[in-house]
C-alpha cells in the first residue's frame, strides 16, 4: 500500500497510517480467509471470539454484524420484549434507545451526570415503575458509568442489568471489564472505535450460558445449531464476516499500545488546554465507588461557543464532532414515548456544549499542538 500524501488537514479520525503498518500481517489473514472459501463467520471469526473472551474475561463472546445488532440480540436474549420498560440515558447514540424499541419494549430516558455523561443512578431510581424490567447504562468517551450503585439498584428491584459498552473495550472497574457487570454487554468495532474494523462489526459479551446460547441462535435467523436448517424462533442475519475478523485480530495485537498512545495524546490536550478554563472546560472524571481505568476513545471539551469553535477549526482544516447535538428526548422518532418526557437538564446542556477533538493513534504530537494553538487563538480573538 502506498503512503498517503502530506496534508495540513487534521481529520477528526483516520487510521490510514495504522493500516499501512498492519498490512503485511493483515494480508496474510485475508489470504487465509480467501483460501478457506468461507467468508462469513469462519475460522477467523471464531478466533476473534476466543481472543475477545480472553481479553475481557467474558465466559462468552458472540460475534455479530455490528454493535446495534448486538444490542437488539442481547436485549432479546435477556428476555426483554413488549410491555417492558428499559431505563437508558438520554445522552447517548440513538442506537441505545432504538434497540429497545426494536424488541418491542419502551426506553425510559433519564438524565446523566456532569462530566462523565453516564446515567445518573438517582435519576434511574426516580424513573422506576411497575413495568421497569431492565437498566441499560452506557459507557461513553473515556470511562465507565458508576456501576456499583446501578448494580445495587438492579439487584434491589430484581431488574436485568445490561450495558451498552460499545465504546468501552479495555475499560474496567473493580477488576471487571465493561459489559460484565450484569447479564451482558455489547462491543462495537465501528472503524473509529478504540478497536475498529474496516466496516461494521460487533460482539456480545456475557457470563450467562442461557443468554449466550440464545444470542448465538438469534444472530443466524434463530437456527437451532450451525447448518441444521431448523429454526426455533425468528432471528436476524448478523454474522461477522471474515474480512472484519482479520482486521480486528490484527489490530488487537497492538490494542494496548493504541490505548497507551490515546492516553498520551489526552494528557497532552489536558496540559495544553488547561489555561483556557473556564471558557473551555475539560470534563472531570466521575468520582466512582470503585474507580475504573480510563480508555480515551474520544477527547471531549465543553464550551458555550461549541458551534463557533467547530466552524473555526473546520476553516483551519481540523475536523471535530458534536456529541450529541440533541438529547434522545428531542429525537423525532422517540417523541411518542412517555419515557421521553423526563426532564434531562444535564443531557440538554451537554448537547449544546460538548465537542469532540481529534484523538486516535495516528495523530501526532504536533497535530495536537496545532489544534490547541487554534483553540487558544479562537479564545483570544473572541475574548
pLDDT digits (tens, 9 = 90+) for 288-315: 444 678 899 999 999 999 999 999 999 9
Please tell me the predicted confidence (pLDDT) of residue 78: 98
What does CATH list as the number for 16-252? 3.40.640.10
User: Which three cell numbers mark 277?
Assistant: 478554563
Residue 2 has pLDDT above 80, yes or no: no
Pairing of strands 299-302, 321-322: unpaired
pLDDT digits (tens, 9 = 90+) for 198-251: 999 999 999 999 999 999 999 999 999 877 899 999 999 999 999 999 999 999
Residue with cell 437498566: 135
Residue 8 has pLDDT above 90, yes or no: no
> For 280-346, where are the E strands, in sequence order?
292-293, 299-302, 321-322
Please tell me the predicted confidence (pLDDT) of residue 62: 98
Q: Between these two residues, 148 and 288, which has the higher pLDDT value? A: 148
Please tell me the predicted confidence (pLDDT) of residue 222: 96
Please tell me the predicted confidence (pLDDT) of residue 339: 62
When pLDDT is cut at 50, 70 and 90, the band that residue 6 belongs to is: very low
Instruction: Output the pTM of the full model.
Output: 0.94
In 10 A of CB 97, how many CB atoms?
Answer: 29
User: Which three cell numbers mark 380?
Assistant: 483570544
Q: How deeply is 102 buried, as exposed, middle or buried, from its count of CB atoms within 10 A (0-12, 13-18, 19+)?
A: middle
Residue 144 has pLDDT above 80, yes or no: yes
Alpha helices in the chain (DSSP H): 16-36, 43-56, 67-77, 94-102, 121-126, 147-157, 209-218, 242-252, 255-273, 306-315, 345-353, 365-381
Measured at the CA of 53, the angle between CA 52 and CA 59, to 5 degrees, comes to 160
Please tell me the predicted confidence (pLDDT) of residue 83: 95
**Cβ distance 347 to 89 under 8 Å?**
yes
Please tell me the predicted confidence (pLDDT) of residue 361: 97
What does CATH list as the number for 255-381? 3.90.1150.10
When pLDDT is cut at 50, 70 and 90, the band that residue 91 belongs to is: very high
First-to-last CA distance in the chain? 46
Domain ranges, ordered by start, for the chain: 16-252, 255-381
**Cβ distance 70 to 186 under 8 Å?**
yes
Minimum mean pLDDT among 216-220, 277-281, 360-364: which range?
Answer: 277-281
Please tell me the predicted confidence (pLDDT) of residue 340: 63
Q: Average pLDDT for residues 180-184, to the nearest whole number?
A: 98
pLDDT digits (tens, 9 = 90+) for 150-178: 999 999 999 999 999 999 999 999 899 99
> For the chain, where are the E strands, in sequence order?
60-64, 85-89, 106-110, 132-135, 160-164, 172-173, 176-177, 184-188, 202-206, 292-293, 299-302, 321-322, 354-357
Q: Average pLDDT for residues 30-59, to the nearest whole number?
A: 94
Please tell me the predicted confidence (pLDDT) of residue 38: 86
User: Which three cell numbers mark 45?
Assistant: 471469526
Amino acid at each position: 500500500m502506498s503512503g498517503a500524501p502530506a496534508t495540513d488537514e487534521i481529520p477528526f479520525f483516520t487510521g490510514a497510517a495504522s493500516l499501512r503498518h498492519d498490512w503485511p500481517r493483515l494480508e496474510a489473514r485475508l489470504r487465509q480467509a480467501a483460501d478457506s472459501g468461507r467468508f462469513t463467520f469462519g475460522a477467523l471469526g471464531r478466533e476473534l471470539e476466543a481472543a475477545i473472551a480472553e481479553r475481557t474475561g467474558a465466559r462468552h463472546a458472540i460475534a455479530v454484524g455490528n454493535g446495534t445488532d448486538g444490542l437488539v440480540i442481547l436485549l432479546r436474549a435477556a428476555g426483554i420484549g413488549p410491555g417492558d420498560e428499559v431505563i437508558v440515558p438520554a445522552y447517548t447514540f440513538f442506537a441505545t434507545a432504538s434497540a429497545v424499541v426494536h424488541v418491542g419494549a419502551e426506553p425510559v430516558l433519564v438524565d446523566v451526570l456532569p462530566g462523565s455523561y453516564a446515567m445518573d443512578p438517582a435519576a434511574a431510581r426516580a424513573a422506576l415503575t411497575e413495568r421497569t424490567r431492565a437498566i441499560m447504562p452506557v459507557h461513553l468517551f473515556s470511562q465507565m458509568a458508576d456501576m456499583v450503585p446501578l448494580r445495587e439498584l438492579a439487584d434491589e428491584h430484581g431488574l436485568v442489568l445490561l450495558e451498552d459498552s460499545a465504546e468501552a473495550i479495555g475499560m474496567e472497574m473493580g477488576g471487571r471489564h465493561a459489559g460484565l457487570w450484569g447479564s451482558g454487554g455489547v462491543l462495537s468495532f465501528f472503524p473509529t472505535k478504540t478497536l475498529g474494523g474496516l466496516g461494521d462489526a460487533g460482539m456480545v459479551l456475557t457470563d450467562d450460558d442461557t443468554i449466550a446460547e440464545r444470542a448465538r441462535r438469534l444472530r443466524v435467523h434463530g437456527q437451532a445449531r450451525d447448518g441444521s436448517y431448523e429454526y426455533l424462533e425468528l432471528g436476524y442475519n448478523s454474522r461477522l464476516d471474515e474480512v472484519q475478523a482479520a482486521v480486528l485480530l490484527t489490530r488487537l495485537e497492538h490494542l494496548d499500545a493504541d490505548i497507551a498512545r490515546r492516553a498520551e495524546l489526552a494528557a497532552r490536550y489536558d496540559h495544553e488546554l488547561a489555561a483556557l478554563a473556564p471558557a473551555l472546560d475539560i470534563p472531570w472524571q466521575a468520582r466512582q465507588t470503585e474507580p475504573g481505568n480510563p480508555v480515551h476513545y474520544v477527547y471531549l471539551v465543553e464550551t458555550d461557543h461549541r458551534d463557533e469553535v467547530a466552524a473555526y477549526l473546520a476553516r483551519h482544516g481540523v475536523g471535530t464532532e458534536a456529541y450529541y447535538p440533541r438529547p434522545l428526548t428531542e429525537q423525532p422518532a422517540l417523541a411518542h414515548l412517555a419515557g421521553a418526557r423526563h426532564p434531562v437538564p444535564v443531557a440538554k446542556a451537554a448537547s449544546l456544549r460538548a465537542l469532540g477533538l481529534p484523538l486516535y493513534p495516528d495523530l501526532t504530537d504536533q497535530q495536537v499542538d496545532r489544534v490547541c494553538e487554534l483553540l487558544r487563538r479562537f479564545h483570544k480573538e473572541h475574548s
